[in-house]
A and B are shown apart, each in its own frame.
Chain A
Amino acid sequence: MAILEVKNISKRFGATVVLRDISFSMEQGQSMAIIGSSGSGKTTLLRCLNFLERPEKGKIIVGGQLLLDAEDPATQKESEIRRKRLHFGLVFQAFHLFPQYTALQNVALAMELLDREQPNYRKNAKEIDAHTREKALALLEQMGLSDKTGLYPHELSGGQQQRVAIARALALRPDVLCFDEPTSALDPELTGEVLKVIRNLAQQRTTMVIVTHEMAFARDVADRVIFMDEGVIVEEGPAHEVIDNPRQERTRQFLSRYSG
């Protein structure tokens, strides 16, 4: 069964139609790269998945559960949206770490807040806190940041900050982890360390949607690739096929700008 089904999503800002009838689905453990030129609607699509934008039309279904039907207000209650967001994680292009917290605190914060909402939290507070801390430390270790856990974001390089942001997004174990051009804000020599971490996640079969301009990375790491242009999915298929042998003329034109 598909872990994620996106059905006929349409989104406009005023008179500009940004997404037109976007549909795709993903299996558990798959990673999907989304490529496309600037303004084609990639960020907007990820923001719709994370309930940061509300589409006018379409459905989002995770693990068979209907999370959003844009035409059914009953699926859009503010109180439930918050919980629904937990099915998704989002890694931003510009990291957006919380500056007043250390790397460890950034990763642990959301877990701690959810812990405290548990009815039995008060009884076992110490144990639960220690357990959460362990989980956060393990995530940072997985990101290769064991020696940076006590540093504040401004004390970290861009690549390190983005890896903290990835650990933070993984902390709540989302069903689908989304990346919005995770390396675009980085100096070229720092992109490698972030891509490596994402590659490892793909090997561990983390379900991911990755918006990226790194074509070689998309081909090697993603199982499938979607090429978007002007708010529509022009081409979709196995990563190697779409990137090495695109069928559509528009995909070819787009990719020719990246080859060489």
Chain B
Amino acid sequence: MPKTLDAVTLALLGAFRLNGYIFVGTLVIAIPLGLAISFGSMSRFGPLRWFTKTFVWAIRGTPLMLQIMIAFFAPPLLFGIVLPRTETAIIAFGINYAAYFSEIYRGGIESIPRGQLEAGQVLGMTRSQIFRKIVLMQVIKRITPPMGNEIITLIKDTCLARVIAIMEINMKAQQFASKGLIWPLFYSGVFFLVFVGVLTVLFNYFERKLNYFR
């Protein structure tokens, strides 16, 4: 195994691309799916609300690591279907994060004062116009800080993909350690620090952009 800085950097970077891929894939699934789940949990139709809340409870109440393993082992053992590994992880992550996002969305939507909805209603707006034109922007402003937190947590959580033998950065760094080389473990942390640093700057910028109204 090569031990130079260049070689380790290259190896870790290659592995971190998988973390980045899982990160992006998860967001693509979880951001819209979370919205659908939050609508379900606020539905006026009792059974749908009950079903959604139970689902969110089950997802948030069990370890993500367990969910990844179930996503990996259940399809082949139960249905004889073999799915590609990384995509399997993305599906598990996507569903898990959608459950968390849905609760953030719900909190944001429910925090909008009734008067805002009523002001839209008396102006003859439809439910969908009120949501799109009045509620949405105010919700985005309110959920930006908690969403930032979750998204920062997500990049670190992607390491859990190693439980189904996805060679992501943490597993790669461990390989070096088990060969007697300790510093790549520390070095792998730098990748996260940089990534999270960029995310933090982005979220701060976004929050400032939304400061034009209260």
Contact = CB atoms under 8 A, between A and B. Distances in A.
Interface stretch (B31-39, B76-84, B116-124): B116-124
Interface of A: 50-52, 82-83, 85-86, 88-90, 92, 94, 96-101, 109-110, 113-114, 152-154, 168-169, 172
Interface stretch (B14-22, B131-139, B152-160): B131-139
8 contacts: A51-B121, A86-B124, A92-B115, A96-B116, A100-B212, A110-B123, A113-B133, A152-B213
Contacts of A92: 115, 118-119
Contacts of B212: 100, 152
Contacts of A101: 213
B214 interface: yes
Interface in B102-136: 113, 115-116, 118-119, 121-126, 129, 133-134
A83 B122 contact: no
Contacts of B119: 92, 96-98
B124 A172 contact: yes
A106 to B, nearest CB: 9
Contact of B138 (A82, A83, A94, A99): A99
Contacts of A88: 122
A109 B123 contact: yes
Contacts of B137: 100
Given A99-B214, A100-B213, A110 B124 contact: yes
Contacts of A109: 123, 133
A-B residue pairs, 4 tightest by C-beta: A110-B123, A96-B115, A96-B119, A154-B214
A100 B209 CA distance: 12
A214 B212 CA distance: 35
B122 A94 contact: no
Given A110-B124, A169-B122, 12 more contacts: A82-B126, A86-B124, A88-B122, A90-B122, A92-B118, A96-B118, A97-B119, A100-B137, A110-B123, A152-B212, A154-B213, A172-B123
Instruction: Among B119, B129, B134, find the residue whose CB has the most chain A CB atoms closer than 10 A.
Output: B119
A68 to B, nearest CB: 15
A94 B125 contact: no
B213 A52 contact: no
Given A99-B214, A113-B129, A52 B123 contact: no
A114 B124 contact: yes
A94 B116 contact: no
Given A94-B115, A109-B133, A99 B213 contact: yes
A83 B124 contact: yes
Nearest to B134: A98
A110 B125 contact: yes
A98 B115 contact: no
Contacts of B125: 82, 110, 113
